[in-house]
Amino acid sequence: MVSGSDMHGTPITVTAQQEGKTPEEVAMHYHAINSKSIEDMGISFDLFSHTHTKEHFEAALWILETLDKAGYIEPRISEEPYDPVAKQFLPDRYVEGTCPHCNYESARGDQCDDCGKTLDSKELIDPHPKLNPDAKLEFKETEHLFFKLSAFRDSLLDWLSTDKEHWRPAVINFTRNWLQEGLIDRAVTRDLEWGIDIPRKGYEKKRMYVWFEAVMGYYSASLHWAKNQGQPELWKEWWENDEAEHYYFMAKDNIPFHTIIWPAMLSGCGLHLPHDVPANEYLLLDSTQFSKSRRHAVWIPDYLDRYDPEVLRYYLSSIMPEQKDANFTWEDYVTRINNELIGNYGNLIHRVISFAQKNYPDGLSSKESTIPSVHAKILEVHNRVSEALEACKFKRALQAIMELSQTGNIELNEAAPWKQVKGNRDACEATLVTFLNLCRSLSVMMTPFLPKSSQKVWEYLNQEGKIEDNGWDSALEYKTKFNLQQPLPLFSKLDMQEILEKEMPSEETNELANVKPEITFDDFKKLDIRIGTVEKVDVHPNADKLWLLDVNFGGPTRRIVTGLRGIYESDDLLGKKIAVLVNLAPAKFRGEESNGMLLAAEGEGIVSLLQPDKEINDGSEVN
């Protein structure tokens, strides 16, 4: 199992510039955080690498060269944004201008952060280089290498209709629709100095496009892993062996890269195509999407400061969004952990091992199980779990294990060793050996979900070595002797009220969201805000969302352009006293000059004008 961090995204170079660091410093900083979180969560990769390694650069160039030799790479001329001051071509994120959809003035060349629409630099009004805002953006012809993705459409459609019964329906449908709409050839180089060099004349200032090389990380990490093993050819067992099956794990927003783009590249190079791409739907937090900028998230390093990673692994596995979006709530987290993980599983393990250890401190033995139904259930569940895991149905696998544990609790109550021990110690010993074997089987099957606590159970049962080294089928072995260690409870019960108070503090105690950087009183004094009366409302000739207002400030009248059309009717505005920032530099909106900006409150879709609450003269200052 290999993966890694993508190091060459444009956001990295933007952050680096803003923080005065090199892109490599920024990328390595995040790679270190991610690697540590993964390790602390008990996720063990054979190699978790990144895309800024010698191995990745070599592998990426080999793939580019191989595709080129096969005729799938072609230089083409296209028009790209160009900064005449810096004398360089710009990636879309380095272009700013006014959004043609909502008039937001700082829209980027790839997207408007205000209305969320995807954009092209050419669509922006007054586009300019982000770093040289006074310069006028130019569009100049430049050469780039293109990947002929369109050439793979038919073969991918064939591949998609062959032996894909095990694929998730959402993944296959999404991929088929995308292919049926047709594939567009895409540029695989760009004008940016951060990334993988292209050894080609005229490409000295160009780098490999990140969408093209990031997916190659799976391949380069395999090569890197083999090298680390001291057997540099070992990767071939996974990439050139027809018996090997490749699984790719991700969320649904990444489907096309793994079911279309990467498979096209792989088949162009004669490498193995994915066996399964079991993409998950989204995990929501309190029914809305996680968001870094709104700080609507559960941060892994924060989480790990307070709680047990195993508990989170259990909760996330039990609600995994395999078929539809799932919802993380702290309430549900506490309920499931207390009722299922502790009430069912943890309790059974602790009850059995602690009772047996206390009453038989010198060990227990019994030739065969005196409760055959328990062993039969282990066999049946082991089968179901194996099948579910191979089919990437992880939730179903976990449910089956929990069902086995539930059966164990019922059987244990019926056998009642705490009664047996008083009258017939031998019968009690035989009963306990049966249930100790059940605990042993459960710990093996739980290992993929709860690696650390399963190892603990293994040690309480005094079994040898690391649990995973004993193999999956060791769950089916029957041990006739146990010499136990004194166990501790596997998990601590969670306090609902305490956790809700900590994780979901009420609104009043919450910090004000999205506060801008602090300013001084002198900064504030620079703002000249006055009260004025709206005397006239006109329709903007070229924009259907804009009003032209004439506002009287007790003598002089000013023309102000505002985006309130559709929110306030002209009659609602006429005669109103409003607050206006009057010393804002004039700006043109679709050809009409605005000499000031009116103040309004905005929140949750409502826009409301700021107005004085007493009669006051036009021209009065706001302080």
User: Which spans of this chain sit near Zn ion (rule: CB under 5 A)?
Assistant: 99, 101-102, 104, 112, 114-115
- CB of 602 vs Zn ion, minimal distance in Å: 15
Nearest distance from C-beta of residue 588 to Zn ion, angstroms: 18
One-character DSSP codes across 148-160: -GGGGHHHHHHHH
Is the Cβ of residue 111 or residue 406 nearer to Zn ion in the bound state?
Answer: 111
Nearer to Zn ion, 68 or 114 (CB): 114
C-beta of 443: minimal distance to Zn ion in Å?
A: 55
The one-letter amino acid at 285: L
Q: Which residues does residue 420 pair with via DSSP β-bridges, in sequence order?
A: none
Q: Measure Cα distances from 2 to 40, 70, 599 in Å.
A: 17, 28, 54
Q: Which of 224, 242, 243 is nearest to 234 (CA)?
A: 224
- The number of beta carbons lying within 10 Å of the beta carbon of residue 325 is 13
What's the CA gap between 336 and 271, in Å, rounded? 43
Nearer to Zn ion, 103 or 454 (CB): 103
Smallest gap, in angstroms, from Cβ of residue 93 to Zn ion? 15
Q: How far is the CB of 563 from Zn ion (least distance, A)?
A: 11
Residue 237 CA from chain centroid, whole number: 31
CA 147 vs CA 29, 179, 192, 210: distances in Å: 32, 16, 18, 13
User: Smaller CB distance to Zn ion: residue 181 or 602?
Assistant: 602
Taking the least distance from each CB to Zn ion, the nearer of 182 and 605 is 605
Residues paired with residue 562 on neighbouring β-strands, in sequence order: 547
Q: Which is nearer to Zn ion, 248 or 589 (CB)?
A: 589
Q: How far is the CB of 570 from Zn ion (least distance, A)?
A: 24
Provide the angle, in degrees to the nearest 10, between the axes of the packed helices 372-390 and 425-446.
Answer: 0
Min dist. Cβ of residue 543 to Zn ion (A): 13
**Phi, psi angle pair for 386, to nearest 5°:** -60, -45
Q: Where are the alpha helices (DSSP H) in 7-77?
A: 10-19, 23-40, 54-69
Instruction: Decide whether 115 or 319 has the Cβ nearer to Zn ion.
Output: 115
Give min distance, CB of 97 to Zn ion, in A: 11
**How far apart are alpha carbons 150 and 73 in whole angstroms?**
12
* Cβ-proximal residues to 70 (8 Å cutoff; 6+ apart), any chain: 268, 269
Instruction: Please state, in angstroms and rounded to a whole number, the distance separating the CA atoms of residues 436 and 134.
Output: 76
State the minimum distance, in angstroms, from the CB of residue 96 to Zn ion: 12
85 vs 125, beta carbon nearer Zn ion: 125
**Dihedrals phi, psi of 117, to nearest 5 degrees:** -75, 145
DSSP-derived secondary structure for 107-124 = EESSB-TTT--B--GGGS
Q: Is the Cβ of residue 119 or residue 188 nearer to Zn ion in the bound state?
A: 119
Q: Which is nearer to Zn ion, 52 or 540 (CB)?
A: 540
Tell me, rounded to whole angstroms, the distance of Cα 52 from its chain centroid: 21
What's the closest the beta carbon of residue 119 comes to Zn ion, in angstroms? 8
State in angstroms the smallest separation of the CB of 123 from Zn ion: 10
Question: What Rg do the C-alpha atoms of the chain give, in angstroms?
Answer: 32
Whichever of 7 and 99 has its CB closer to Zn ion, that residue is 99
Nearer to Zn ion, 125 or 244 (CB): 125
State the virtual CA torsion across 446, 447, 450, 453 in degrees, nearest 10.
Answer: 100
Q: CB 104 → Zn ion: shortest distance, Å?
A: 4
Q: Which long-range contacts (CB under 8 A, 24 or more apart) does 328-331 make?
A: 328/283, 328/284, 328/285, 328/286, 328/298, 329/285, 329/286, 330/499, 330/500, 330/503, 330/504, 331/496, 331/500
Report the nearest approach of Zn ion to the CB of residue 82 (Å).
23
Question: End-to-end alpha-carbon separation of the chain, Å?
Answer: 62
CB of 348 to Zn ion, least distance (A): 57
Query: Which amino acid appears at position 227 of this protein?
Result: K
Closest residue by Cα to residue 235 from 226, 243, 227, 244: 226
Nearer to Zn ion, 104 or 174 (CB): 104
C-alpha 343: how far from chain center = 31
Instruction: Give the Cα separation of 148 and 71 in Å (integer).
Output: 9
Query: Which sign does the torsion angle of CA 111, 57, 261, 27 carry?
Result: negative
Compare residues 137 and 265 and give the one whose CB is closer to Zn ion. Answer: 137
**C-alpha torsion sign, points 26, 52, 257, 118:** positive
